[in-house]
Chains A and B, each alone.
Chain A
Amino acid sequence: MTPGPVTVSPQATVAAASSAMRRGRFRHLPVVADSETRSELVGVVSQRDLETWPEAPVEVAESLADRPVAEVMTSQPVTVWPDEPVEVAARLLAEHAIGCLPVVGDEGLVGILTESDLFSVLLRLLGGGEPSSRITLVLPDVPGALGRAMTVVGELGVNLLTVVTEPGPEPGTRGVVLRAGTINAAPLVAALVAAGFPATGPGRPDPDEP
């Protein structure tokens, strides 16, 4: 999340919110009513809320710019707690088809989590950007299969940067994506194949070939 995000008050004009977004190069703003003790979240505006529709008469488009944000914001937005696991936040974004989640703690608004934050998490989880070789496996979805495959990796002394598993292409299978910290991944792929784990990776782009 972005801690301490830029916010607007519900009385701010649409034009002001719009220019704050352009300046900061972001697309969501929490709307916050300040009280003595805490900053109270009252809504969220997205860039789309602020856009005029192209066929609107000019007078309407112009007057919209002067309206208060409170009239176009989403009030009572979906929020998350700061200690919520990232997958919960991701599920909320996906289920509600929204682009951001204000993060609200006991003291009020503490941050904002957006799609871009989730991309960073995804990148970290999948190891993209760290020098490594990519190897994919399809394993039977039974206890011990992943462990046995990883034993092969361990025996070759290769450092794994990331291991991600997901439901496989067929029922009863699990797909596994490894990022191995070695430039010489062909021996690892060969060892996995020899041990009965069909692997795709450098030196073996197509597992169906002999």
Chain B
Amino acid sequence: MSGACAVAADERLAAYDFGPDRPFQAGRLDAGLSLLRAAKVLHTGDLLAFGPAGDADLELIHDRDYLEAVARFSADPAPADPVEATRFGLVGDNRPFPGLDEAARLVAGATMAALDAVADGRLTHVFAPVAGLHHAQRRRAVGFCVVNDVAVAIARATRAWPLRVLYVDLDAHHGDGVQAAFYDDPRVCTVSLHETGRYLFPGTGEVHELGRPPGTGRSVNVPLEPGTGDEGFLTAFDAVVEPLAAAFRPDLLVTQNGCDGHAGDPLSDLALSLRGYRDLARRLHRLAHRHCGGRWVATGGGGYDLERVVPRAWALLWAELSGRRLPARVPAAWLASRPGPGWWMEPRRRRREDGPDRPAREAEERNRRTVRAVRRLALPPSVRVGYPLAAPGGTSQRLPGWEPRAGRYQAPRGPLVLRDRCPASLLRRLEVDPGIHTFVRAAEQEREVLARIAEEPAGEVVVAHTPDGVVVGYVAVLEPEPGTRFASLPGLLEVGAVEVATGWRRGGVASALLRFAVEPDPFEDRILVASGLAWHWDLDQSGLSATAYRGVLARVFEAAGFEVLQTDEPEIAYHPANLFVARVGGRVPPARRAAFSSRLVRGHHPMP
């Protein structure tokens, strides 16, 4: 499945070396590349040529006076003015060394060459191991990162080509510098999975850092607990990254594969293993092919267990990306100079009989809450519904039965059949119009997604299809995801998604579907809610402003007996165009209505 691949690194990058007293050392490059060579998975022809980045590119991200200061301190590292050095962050972790400027420019040059080669189609995947200096800010060196090579390369590529870039940051530390560089850019979506900033550097990366207009919703953060481990990290990744890619529809994937979340790493406590990093690399590879036309640049990022972890993590990542097979054991010749275990990944540990201990359970529960919050904020409802959490089934029973119904609707484009209580078996037989764009890049999933919803205990799928069986719209009604404000109210259901294929919009299909969907009598015993977050809306396609789109959406719901309600539920309150609607069935008892109303406005948001 892979095309041409390359490594964007060579021995010159060993110059990016903060010295033996700091964890970012030249030994990383030598240890890593020598292992790839010893394992015979890296050949001379695999190295991508690159040169130092010039001012024009660096100034896309950095201020000139900062770059001048870096050059000055690089020529003479003893600061004449310690206050200036501190202001630019060129102290402590980032204390300059002779040649820092050239070394940093080479790092940025390697990442730029990698993105250029993938963007113009010469290569499919490139691995840039000494890259991913994701903390560097516009005018400040941070956390061993002097020049933000990833941000520079992405900024350059998005100017040269009309690209949408998905940046996935797996480093244990929040990818703050890259996030900041594209915080208001709708064409670059950054997602960072990292250890929570409660104690850990840099302290940011909270769930509610979502970006700024016009890039709102394009910054995504998944802060995870210390002790998360492989399983927890992979669960979070699956719940967020793949659906996010489906929603964002990127052209190019850039990843920061920092392996400092490994259990042996001195800088963090995420407790991952090399096996976990191998599994993550596999998922990224699949995601690149499914959603980005294969275009993938992986950067090495952080990782400070230089003996056991970093070289092996690089080898596993490069093997995955290049499709080459590693030998069964780490070559003995390499081990001779770097004593360590012969395995590439830790042997599988047997599951502990007594199950996870209390702190581990607490971490798990917190991560679960975090992931749910991220999904609600970052994923449009149709995508969230299409990529459900593998959560334990709902507690409520199926709605009391009614016979499946069929109706007709004459849309301007042609007649449609409306159907409810669609069994999964029928959904699996229908075609799905490609204009249902949520799953365009994941064609094999289109039908399956709807079928899966129909199999949920409280899930109802109502579809509009053409007489020859092509689905052009659907409404999904589900239980609200647990942990949300209205979730625990008995009898409450959520309209999880209303979607109409692009070619069939503006023909009243959504209204007709929704009216049809809520007709059955059992809905008179239920409260139905739905929310719309402005940054999920397809404003480009519709040509509407967020406010106008809100109006359209409100009318669609109002026509089906919903009412627009004010609420201070934090997700809704986040943006003035966000919409919250509810339809309280005629037989809902007054006490239950009151309980619902009292949750609309709480006046304060208790900390999670």
Instruction: List A residues at the B interface (Cβ < 8 Å).
Output: 127-135, 157-159, 179, 181-186, 200-203, 205-206
Contact = CB atoms under 8 A, between A and B. Distances in A.
Nearest to A133: B201
Interface stretch (B101-109, B266-274, B488-496): B266-274
A76 to B, nearest CB: 27
B477 to A, nearest CB: 31
B199 A133 contact: yes
Interface of B: 22-23, 86, 89, 91-93, 135, 137, 142-144, 173, 176, 197-204, 226, 266-269, 359
Contacts of B197: 134
A130 B137 CA distance: 11
Contacts of A201: 199
A128 B204 CA distance: 8
Query: Which of A186, A200, A201 neighbours the largest number of chain B CB atoms within 10 Å of its CB?
Result: A186
Nearest to B304: A184
A118 to B, nearest CB: 16
Contacts of B176: 131
A129 B89 CA distance: 15
Query: Which of B144, B197, B203 neighbours the largest number of chain A CB atoms within 10 Å of its CB?
Result: B203
Contacts of B269: 202-203, 205
Given A134-B198, A182-B93, A159 B86 contact: yes
A135 B22 CA distance: 20
B155 to A, nearest CB: 20
Given A157-B92, A205-B226, A183 B203 contact: no
Contacts of B143: 131, 182-183
Given A158-B92, A159-B91, A183 B135 contact: yes
27 contacts: A129-B204, A130-B203, A131-B137, A131-B143, A131-B201, A132-B201, A132-B203, A134-B197, A134-B199, A134-B200, A159-B92, A181-B89, A181-B93, A182-B201, A183-B143, A183-B144, A183-B173, A183-B201, A184-B22, A186-B267, A200-B199, A202-B199, A202-B268, A202-B269, A203-B269, A205-B199, A205-B269
Contacts of B22: 184
Contact of A202 (B23, B89, B200): B200
Contacts of B267: 183-184, 186, 202-203
A205 B195 CA distance: 12
Given A131-B135, A159-B92, A205-B226, A185 B266 contact: no
Contacts of A186: 266-267
Given A132-B202, A134-B199, 11 more contacts: A131-B135, A131-B203, A133-B201, A134-B203, A135-B199, A183-B142, A184-B266, A201-B199, A202-B200, A205-B199, A205-B269
B203 A133 contact: yes
A186 B305 CA distance: 14
Nearest to A209: B359
A192 to B, nearest CB: 13
A129 B203 contact: yes
A129 B142 CA distance: 13
Nearest to B227: A205
Contacts of A183: 93, 135, 142-144, 173, 201-202, 267
Contacts of A133: 199-203
Which 5 residue pairs of A and B lie closest in terms of their CB atoms, listed nearest first?
A: A131-B202, A183-B143, A133-B201, A183-B201, A202-B200
Nearest to B198: A134
A201 B91 CA distance: 21
A158 B143 CA distance: 12
Contacts of B201: 131-133, 182-183, 185, 202
A128 B174 CA distance: 14
Nearest to A186: B266
Contacts of B226: 205
A137 B438 CA distance: 49
Contacts of B89: 181
